[in-house]
Amino acid sequence: MTGTTDPQDLSVRYIAQWTEPDPARRREAIESLWAEDGTHVLQPPAEIRELAADLGFDHPTLRAQGHNAIETRVTRSYQRFVENGEFTFRARTDAVLLDDLIRFHWDTISVADGEVVGGGLELLALDTDGRIRTDYMFPGA
């Protein structure tokens, strides 16, 4: 089924879950986008990687697995970056599908002036139903 997945449409729906203000609609988005045991894997920002390296961790990654953990992760991101009206996110128009992988970039936008203030790279591995099995997030890429 992943051969029929529109990568740009999926990238837009993926980003929309991070900016959805209604908790029930956010949960619906997560359940429709993610496999039940899907995993979100985050490469932390450089300062966190440096702190981890000082503690002896060579390759720190952060993980959330399953709908409940992903909902917590998405909700906390929403609360920190979007809820106060300071930032929003948008998918770029560069999404591509290769076998069961979708790659795209996203931007963090300042609501005050519309300027791009950050962003990152997303690599989504899909299951046979076209839902996210594993999400590799690279902020700052």
Q: Tell me the whole-structure pTM to 2 decimals.
A: 0.88
Residue 99 buriedness (CB in 10 A; 0-12 / 13-18 / 19+): exposed
- Tell me what percent of the residues of the chain surpass a pLDDT of 90: 79
Residue 78 per-residue DSSP state: I
| Cβ count near 22 (within 10 Å) | 9
pLDDT at 42 over 90: no
Nearest one of 91, 37, 90, 28 to 66, comparing CA atoms: 37
Mean pLDDT over all residues of the chain?
Answer: 92
pLDDT, tens digit (0-9, with 9 covering 90-100), for 68-79 = 999 999 999 999
| Whether residue 27 has pLDDT greater than 60 | yes
pLDDT per position as a tens digit, 45-66: 777 767 777 777 776 778 899 9
| 2-139 classified as CATH 3.10.450.50 | yes
95 neighbors 102 (Cβ within 8 angstroms): yes
Residue 3: predicted pLDDT = 58
The string over 45-72, giving b where at least 16 C-beta atoms fall within 10 Å of a residue's C-beta and e elsewhere, is: eeeebeeeeeeeeeeeeeebeebeebbe
